[in-house]
Amino acid sequence: MVYNNRPIIQAPPVKTGSEVQNRPKTQPSGSFANILQDKLDKDVKISKHAQTRMELRKVNLTEAQREKLASAIDKANAKGVRDTLIVMERMAFVVNVKNRTVITAMNSTEMRENVFTNIDGAVFAD
């Protein structure tokens, strides 16, 4: 089409609401949302109480130890455990499996002197 010796550029057709809604929604497998959710699902949280105990008892976790703790939580979860005692590398942690949260932590000295209650499983992760 031409108007006043100038070509008229036609806009592409407008999609209706149903066409937009029916468009397939695809997210690449490595999308930010998927990566973030995977990280959150695998991450180990440490409660304020546990953080205080860890500082007091000089219990420090390396990244490798955090991964080992996360793996132990996965094992407990696979067995249906709700609250577990995880013993690894001369440290012990009481963990709420569902929330992946360390409730309390202790070193080898406190492990010998304690009775562990309110747990329904134990994992030895050495």
Which pair of structure tokens corresponds to residue 14?
A: 């407008």
For the chain, the structural domain boundaries read 44-126
R_g (Cα) of the chain, nearest Å: 27
Q: Give residue 39's pLDDT.
A: 59
Residue with tokens 């134990």: 122
Q: pTM for the whole thing? A: 0.67
Q: Quick: pLDDT tens for 84-123.
A: 999 999 999 999 999 999 999 999 888 887 888 899 999 9
Candidates 112, 71, 116, 63; CA nearest to 93 is 116
Phi, psi of 49 (to 5 degrees): -60, -45
